[in-house]
Structure 1
Amino acid sequence: MIPGGQPNMQALLQQAQKMQQDLAAAQQELAETEVEGTAGGGLVKATVSGAGELRALVIDPKAVDPDDTETLADLVVAAVHSATDAAQELQQSKLGPLAQGLGGGLPGLF
């Protein structure tokens, strides 16, 4: 602080730049990290990036019944939902502390 109660603008700018760099690094790490969700006891597996991008979908042949495609579709949706939930938890753990440092939250991230 400068005498008179004014904040040191240089220090504030440096702190903001560091927070921006930390946020960019965390976002890059999320984009490179993968999480998995499963459904049907592992019959369907979805892999999602930490940023929420669907990367892979594996369907066990046992889950494929030509006469019951609705169940397969439900399993796919459930696996993707499970993986997306895991990605959101990862986002909270990586970005949450950074968002708090930026004044309590970043609209649109969570």
Structure 2
Amino acid sequence: MNPFDLMKNLKDLQGTMNQMREDLKNLSVTGSSGGNMVQVTMNGQLEMTAIKIDPIAVDPRDVNMLQDLIVSANHDALEKVQELIKQKAGPLMGGMGL
């Protein structure tokens, strides 16, 4: 392979990766638990951007349940973001033989 072609391909790949990073900043996914009593919104950089808790889920006698719902909703959002990242990055990574 021509070294100049390889350098051009690396520059193209770098540009694509930078564009993907920007796209991920704008990605927004919501995970939920407890029948939507707790909803967590996360961006493509795996940062929690919002949390919504139905007042019904707030029982001072059962704080552990609310904590579990929050963790579960966060996990759900994380899985959704990871799946979207795989979908977006899959073709790019497939071309690299990864």
TM-score (norm 2): 0.93
1:76 aligns with: 70
Q: Work out which of the residue numbers 23, 26, 37 in structure 2 matches 1:29.
A: 23
Is 1:16 the counterpart of 2:10? The answer is yes
Give secondary structure in 2 for the equivalent of 1:65: coil
Query: Which amino acid in 1 is paired with 2:10?
Result: A
Largest Rg, 1 or 2:
1
Gaps of 5+ in 2: none
Query: Which amino acid in 2 is paired with 1:65?
Result: D
1:100 aligns with: 94
**In structure 2, what is the Cα distance between the partners aligned to 1:100 and 1:75?**
36
Q: What stretches of structure 1 move > 6 A for 4+ residues in a row? A: none
**Deviation at 1:11?**
1.3
**Deviation at 1:43?**
0.5
1:91 aligns with: 85
Gaps of 5+ in 1: 1-6, 105-110
Larger proportion of helix: 2
Identity of aligned residues (%): 38
1:44 aligns with: 38
